[in-house]
Structure 1
Amino acid sequence: MFRIQHLFLLCTTLVGVLCKPNIILIITDDQDVRTGTLDFMPKLKSTLAEKGTAYERFYAPVSLCCPSRVSLLRAQYAHNHNITYVVGDFGGYQVFCEKGHNDKYLPLYLQRAGYGTYYTGKLMNGLAYDQIATQPPKGWTHSDFLVDPNVYLYYNASFSSQSAAPVNYEGQFQVDVVRDKALGLLEEALDPSQNGKPFFLGIAPTAPHLEVQIADGQFTEPVPRKGQEGLFEDVKVPRTPSFNAKARGAVSWLKNLEELNKTEVDYTDHVYRQRLRVLQPVDELVEAIVKKVEQAGREVSDNTYIIFTSDNGYALGSHRRMLGKTLPYEEDVLVPLIIRGPKIPANKRNKDDVYSMVDLGATILGLAGADVQDYSVDGKDFLSNDRGVAKSKPRHALVEYWNAAVEEGIYARSTSISNTTYRSIRVKDDTGSEHDWVYGVWCTGERELYDLKTDPYQLHNLARNNNPETFSFSSPHTTRVASRLDALLIVLKTCVGETCRDPWKAFNVPGFSYSYSGSLSGALDPRYDAYFDSMPRFAYNECRFGYLEDIESPTWSDDLAFRR
């Protein structure tokens, strides 16, 4: 170990900024923020949160596993990588390969930047052994992937290492297997034979996702590790204002939902406890990884970023829903992000900066000094500019969805609910003090507008949807806000690269870049009312699965920009 410490010390003292950091990414599956799951992970708190920064406005760009993970791996919004579902014609590993993404994504760029790349656990949906055998995921120095059909089993999960035939770990708890494999890969990356080569390590247990039964595809409760079945026996889903509540002005199929009955509520509480139980081994996994890094010596630990996040959120009883994700609400899309590493402030909570999975992908590329020349990266690198201090801070996040809503568990009222195609944006002011809005348009023609400063649980829709042909809101002020946000959504829905990072520039109005404090505030100047009022409103021609640009209008062009 002396040799590797000496190499890292030489790197940091003689090369300085040219010394590339190690990056460890731990990503869970379906872990939300709103129900307080992080409060039940004390080891995560002591090893990462208290030693790093928690980003409290971090969003999944699609509230579904596979599209969100691809957005991380490509640092792109789903309308650009066009992986919009988990299986079939619109998503999964096979479509990922068909679109050529297996030749152009994160690990390949990291390797070109001089990194060793390692991964264990779930990469994305649809990764089965027959596909690995013919089209193995590219760019990995050493990998050990969870493979179908046993990906979502807590016992008897299957792994394939380096495209070898899968091995079933019968009777072993999946998170523990992932932990042990991750520690082995970390030891390999730190071995003196690597000569101090920087590394990326991805660790992806499927906890706290529900089990998916092989026989019928039914979603059932998570299965805790033996000995932990009785933990948290008195804990219930937090009774937030949105729990079992109907929003005023609810849209699409949500406006017809009945209250959950006692049996359904009791089941929701039970599943919540099961989720907390299966997160305990994840908590231990985090601690084990941090300890392994620290045992390698200060020169290693001081040059290693450790990132904890999840692919999407999860709703348990909010808005009268049964279990599931797939909707544009905070429960579904607000996910954890905690980062510890060089120059990251310790024990800090970042409550103002709005980031998305596409930004995290761009940030990992930036930290590694990786150059992407094959396509335009949509995300904003928010760390590597000053190693912990972002020079400009995005204040928006785009959430997209083109599929059916899915309810999970034994009391699911429907496993495929149509009319769930939508676009939704979150927009804050640069000042962080005045504006904090959620605006969305559904394929039904209905709109949503929520003021998160006064309505953080999205229970009072300020849009009036009595007539889908009209553009009407609760007051002149909210009408003005909505006109700007609708125009911004038109820009973002087909944005590429820099336009995704700074969409206000597209309007060609003086002062609308992020170098100006308060882009939305500037846009709300009454002098621009005529311009925004004349803008065509975003709409869908029909409700369809999959991203089909020709059924969404208008498409942004320079002809729609401001003219003096």
Structure 2
Amino acid sequence: MPAPNILVVLVDQMRRDALSCCGDPNLRTPHLDALAARGTMFEAAVSTFPACVPFRFSLMTGAFAHSRNVPALGYRLSPAERTLGEAVAACGHATAWIGKWHLYSAYGVTGGLTLSQAARTPVPASHRRGWQRWLGFELRNHYHDSWIFEDDSPRPRRLAGHQTDALFDLAIAHLRGRPRERPFFLVLSVEAPHPPFMATPAHLARVRARGPLRPRPNVDVDAIRFFPPEWYEPTGPAGAVDPADRDARARVFTANMQAWYAMIEQIDDNMGRLDAALAAEGLREETIVVFLSDHGELGGSHGMLGKAQPWEESCGIPLIVAGPGIAVGRRVGLPVGTEDLFPTLVGLAGGREGGPGLDLSAMLRGGPEPDRAGVLLEFVLETRPGRDWHDATWRAIRTRRHKYAVQGDRSGARPWLLHDLAADPHEQRNLIDDPAAAATARALHGALMRLLDATGDDFALAPAWGLPGRACVPP
């Protein structure tokens, strides 16, 4: 049987259950629902380090972010790393990358460039190895003023219209002009629905026409004390929102969440266009399609916005795989982390890669779920000013049923969260101080320590639950 084509669609800041097939009443995603129905959906997939840069590092290398001390923002991928593109190319696939890269640190703490300057700064070939066709950019975070670089050209080309539509246009054009002599491996990386939430008027009107938002049970708008500067009023930048002004908080929150949902519906419409293009090219039955996000969006859950937290709205990501040989209509409850993606994608391409993650390609083709105690979640390093390094760091273990987290402290991380995900799927009851849950907490703390040891993580733990502390050096 010839090797399949593989098409990966990577979106940014879409949480796992933001799909109509997962019961979210605030949007309609018929094309993604159809993809899930004809393939396999992972119900416990997580972004190990729920932020843009570290997710991309682990996707590209298969390694944990803590293995290179990757921060939440501002990291440049070393040319010495073996990349996903190189590994798949070695399987005989023609590789291509279209869209956001965010591994060259052309913007942020270390780059010293504005977003506009970063958008027009090329990523050198030495820092994007393995991608034989390149139509990419570092990052933009603006949907009506986006630029791409084609292969090694130093001059950027402006994208016409909304960035999401334009990037899908490029992917469709690539499918039509693809190399015919070997299978392709294409990654389409779009920035949506990352803020600023710039939805098209048509998609925004569609969401608003359904009436008021129906938020998750754990959404607490009154508890939100900070709106990111990229969040918008209905007619422009929100600026500083007075925490005491409940009406202003509610107005800004509603406008932005409606636009976030509208951007996901725009992605779904484009997934329909992409599927139609595959069918028109005779590729639908020869192509494995993978849809996923780099992390979620809290969207007011637990009184917070954005990502970088261990709760499911932040770390839970959609992961759907469909195509030739993939089990149809399967729902997988196995916890899956970012580090599993590299070996799994290479496995689907016909190769084999080692590393800390699991190759789930055999399972996707109908095999049994592997045994796994749980997956590691982490926030490794914060480099942005005004944020306490110790308080920002945390580690967690996510099992099928529980999540247990410890939070950084100058004398070693201490117990922070314990949730029973079966009884409390929205994580509204923290059991960390519940005497009845102490035995569970102790067992999970021990399992977390073993995960830290197994992955070479030097994260320090204070003594807890009758267990000794852990020094900042792997044993």
Per the normalisation by structure 1, the TM-score is 0.69
**Matched residue of 1:440: which SS?**
strand
Equivalent residue for 1:474, pick from 435, 448, 461: 435
Letter in 1 for 2:256: V
- Answer yes or no: is the 8 Å Cα contact 1:382–1:393 preserved in 2: no
Instruction: Tell me, yes or no, if structure 1 residue 536 matches structure 2 residue 468.
Output: yes
**Matched residue of 2:203: which SS?**
coil
- Answer yes or no: is the 8 Å Cα contact 1:363–1:380 preserved in 2: yes
* Higher relative contact order (CA closer than 8 Å, sequence separation 6+): 2
1:493-519 Cα shifts (integer Å, max 9, x gaps) = 24349x9xxxxxxxxxxxxxxxxxxxx
Q: Residues 243 and 82 from structure 1, CA distance in 2 versus in 1: closer, same or farther, beyond 3 angstroms?
A: same
Aligned to 2:239: none
Instruction: Tell me, yes or no, if structure 1 residue 59 matches structure 2 residue 46.
Output: yes
Take 1:30 and 1:37, find their aligned partners in 2: how far apart are those partners?
17
**Matched residue of 1:58: which SS?**
coil
Aligned to 1:330: 312
Q: Residues 134 and 360 from structure 1, CA distance in 2 versus in 1: closer, same or farther, beyond 3 angstroms?
A: closer
Aligned to 2:95: 117
Instruction: Tell me, yes or no, if structure 1 residue 263 matches structure 2 residue 248.
Output: yes
Take 1:72 and 1:331, find their aligned partners in 2: how far apart are those partners?
20
Instruction: Tell me, yes or no, if structure 1 residue 383 matches structure 2 residue 342.
Output: no
Aligned to 1:410: none
Equivalent residue for 1:427, pick from 399, 410, 418: 399
Question: What is the count of residue pairs matched by the alignment?
Answer: 427
Instruction: Tell me, yes or no, if structure 1 residue 145 matches structure 2 residue 136.
Output: yes
User: Structure 1 residue 236: deviation in Å?
Assistant: 4.7
Q: Residues 201 and 288 from structure 1, CA distance in 2 versus in 1: closer, same or farther, beyond 3 angstroms?
A: same
Aligned to 2:420: 451
Equivalent residue for 1:396, pick from 370, 374, 381: 374
- Answer yes or no: is the 8 Å Cα contact 2:19–2:28 preserved in 1: no
User: Structure 1 residue 479: deviation in Å?
Assistant: 2.0
User: Structure 1 residue 166: deviation in Å?
Assistant: 3.9
Q: Residues 181 and 494 from structure 1, CA distance in 2 versus in 1: closer, same or farther, beyond 3 angstroms?
A: farther
Take 1:81 and 1:185, find their aligned partners in 2: how far apart are those partners?
34
Which is higher, the Rg of structure 1 or of structure 2?
Answer: 1
**Matched residue of 1:438: which SS?**
strand
Aligned to 1:106: 84
- Answer yes or no: is the 8 Å Cα contact 1:302–1:342 preserved in 2: yes
- Answer yes or no: is the 8 Å Cα contact 2:40–2:321 preserved in 1: yes
Instruction: Tell me, yes or no, if structure 1 residue 353 matches structure 2 residue 334.
Output: yes
Aligned to 1:490: 449
Aligned to 1:5: none
Letter in 2 for 1:459: Q
Aligned to 1:365: 346
**Matched residue of 1:359: which SS?**
helix
Letter in 2 for 1:241: P
User: Structure 1 residue 404: deviation in Å?
Assistant: 4.5
Aligned to 1:225: 200
Instruction: Tell me, yes or no, if structure 1 residue 163 matches structure 2 residue 152.
Output: yes
Aligned to 1:73: 60
Aligned to 1:342: 324
Take 1:487 and 1:400, find their aligned partners in 2: how far apart are those partners?
16
Take 1:245 and 1:446, find their aligned partners in 2: how far apart are those partners?
28
**Matched residue of 1:54: which SS?**
strand
Take 1:21 and 1:134, find their aligned partners in 2: how far apart are those partners?
27
Equivalent residue for 1:442, pick from 400, 407, 410: 407
Per the normalisation by structure 2, the TM-score is 0.81
1:199-236 Cα shifts (integer Å, max 9, x gaps) = 1110111110113xxxxxxxxxx112254342211555
- Answer yes or no: is the 8 Å Cα contact 1:380–1:394 preserved in 2: no
- Answer yes or no: is the 8 Å Cα contact 1:260–1:317 preserved in 2: no
1:421-454 Cα shifts (integer Å, max 9, x gaps) = 10011123xxxxxxx1111111134312111122
Take 1:135 and 1:393, find their aligned partners in 2: how far apart are those partners?
38
Letter in 2 for 1:283: D
Aligned to 2:300: 317
User: Structure 1 residue 241: deviation in Å?
Assistant: 2.6
Letter in 2 for 1:460: R
- Answer yes or no: is the 8 Å Cα contact 1:207–1:279 preserved in 2: yes
Q: Residues 210 and 112 from structure 1, CA distance in 2 versus in 1: closer, same or farther, beyond 3 angstroms?
A: same
Structure 2: unaligned runs, 5 residues or longer: 107-117, 224-242, 458-463
User: Structure 1 residue 263: deviation in Å?
Assistant: 2.0
1:316-359 Cα shifts (integer Å, max 9, x gaps) = 111122x2111110110011111111232333333x21111211
Q: How well do the aligned residues superpose, as a CA RMSD in angstroms? A: 2.9
Aligned to 1:251: none
Letter in 2 for 1:315: L
Take 2:331 and 2:20, find their aligned partners in 1: how far apart are those partners?
16
- Answer yes or no: is the 8 Å Cα contact 2:41–2:330 preserved in 1: yes
User: Structure 1 residue 45: deviation in Å?
Assistant: 3.3
- Answer yes or no: is the 8 Å Cα contact 1:26–1:307 preserved in 2: yes
- Answer yes or no: is the 8 Å Cα contact 2:14–2:297 preserved in 1: yes
Q: Residues 354 and 424 from structure 1, CA distance in 2 versus in 1: closer, same or farther, beyond 3 angstroms?
A: same
Aligned to 1:204: 189
Percent identical residues: 22
Letter in 2 for 1:451: D
Take 1:371 and 1:174, find their aligned partners in 2: how far apart are those partners?
35
- Answer yes or no: is the 8 Å Cα contact 1:245–1:259 preserved in 2: no
Aligned to 1:49: 36
- Structure ranking higher in helix proportion: 1
Take 1:260 and 1:368, find their aligned partners in 2: how far apart are those partners?
54
Take 1:172 and 1:438, find their aligned partners in 2: how far apart are those partners?
42
**Matched residue of 2:206: which SS?**
coil
Take 1:106 and 1:487, find their aligned partners in 2: how far apart are those partners?
33
- Answer yes or no: is the 8 Å Cα contact 1:25–1:202 preserved in 2: yes
Q: Residues 390 and 235 from structure 1, CA distance in 2 versus in 1: closer, same or farther, beyond 3 angstroms?
A: farther
User: Structure 1 residue 304: deviation in Å?
Assistant: 1.6
**Matched residue of 1:120: which SS?**
strand
- Answer yes or no: is the 8 Å Cα contact 2:438–2:465 preserved in 1: no
User: Structure 1 residue 134: deviation in Å?
Assistant: 6.8
Letter in 1 for 2:16: V
Take 2:28 and 2:97, find their aligned partners in 1: how far apart are those partners?
23
- Answer yes or no: is the 8 Å Cα contact 1:30–1:311 preserved in 2: yes
Take 1:402 and 1:239, find their aligned partners in 2: how far apart are those partners?
30
- Answer yes or no: is the 8 Å Cα contact 2:343–2:358 preserved in 1: yes
User: Structure 1 residue 105: deviation in Å?
Assistant: 1.1
1:5-57 Cα shifts (integer Å, max 9, x gaps) = xxxxxxxxxxx3xx222111001000013555775343423541221122111
User: Structure 1 residue 239: deviation in Å?
Assistant: 2.9
Aligned to 2:161: 172
Aligned to 2:228: none
Q: Residues 488 and 392 from structure 1, CA distance in 2 versus in 1: closer, same or farther, beyond 3 angstroms?
A: same
Take 1:225 and 1:245, find their aligned partners in 2: how far apart are those partners?
25
Aligned to 2:231: none
- Answer yes or no: is the 8 Å Cα contact 1:53–1:340 preserved in 2: yes
